[in-house]
Amino acid sequence: MVKVNFRIEEGLHERLIRRAAAADLSLSEFVRLVLAQAAEPNRGYIFSSNDEILATSIQILSILVVAVGQRSPEVLEQGMAEARALLGERGLLDPELEPISGTRAAGR
């Protein structure tokens, strides 16, 4: 096995550690699997292989958010808070981009 050394930003390192832990893998195992997936010639490119599914999911969830928000803004706020917590636990949400508690993002 070849040893590779490279530098990454501290924030990226922390997010990778969280994602690896969520998958019950060491950081080295996680990074090897991600790199192997990116280099696999018979698979879709790692950064675009799920774009259509993701776009459809976002559209469906956007419609649902509007419908729930019109019926019960309180339920919407509770659901959004729970979603942010789950995404944060899995390292999928940048804490620096989180809105300040009690404020709403533009357009909501």
For residues 67 and 71, what is the distance between their CA atoms, to the nearest angstrom? 7
* pLDDT tens-digit series, residues 6-26: 999 999 999 999 989 988 999
Dihedral sign for Cα 56, 57, 60, 61, please. negative
pTM for this prediction: 0.42
Dihedral sign for Cα 54, 18, 21, 86, please. negative
Among candidates 26, 24, 22, which has minimal Cα distance to 88? 22
Q: For residue 105, give every residue at least 6 positions away whose Cβ sits within 8 Å of its Cβ, in sequence order, or none.
A: 99
pLDDT value of position 13: 95
* pLDDT tens-digit series, residues 46-59: 555 566 777 788 88
Query: DSSP string covering 31-82, please?
Result: HHHHHHHHH-TTS--TTTTTHHHHHHHHHHHHHHHHHHHHH-HHHHHHHHHH
Contact (Cβ atoms closer than 8 angstroms) between residue 20 and residue 30: yes
Report domain extents, the chain: 1-47, 51-97
